[in-house]
Amino acid sequence: MVEHDRKKIRLAVKRIYQSTQIERYEVIAGNGSLILQCNWPVLRARGLRRRHPAWKIYKGHLPYMSLVEQIIKAVERGVRSYNPSF
């Protein structure tokens, strides 16, 4: 859940693709979706657990970069709580 413009937005996140180099997550909010891509598998393979992954928007559009950053932090928290080895 993230807050934007004094509104709480509930997010549903699902991993839709995984390879040895990238992972893609679909983030679904009330009226739209967004696909985010990160390089977590490369970092895990090299043993770089403390380094933050590089995220980018693979599909979709959000006009507010601050909202994108909040969504990315929420996805990271969710994935790390689900799988603590990240």
**C-alpha to C-alpha distance for 17 and 23, rounded to whole angstroms:** 6
The H-assigned helical ranges of the chain are 40-45, 65-82
What's the whole-model pTM score? 0.84
Identify the band that residue 83 occupies on the pLDDT scale cut at 50, 70 and 90.
low
Average pLDDT over residues 37-41: 93
Q: What are the pLDDT digits (tens) for 6-34?
A: 778 888 899 999 999 999 999 998 788 99
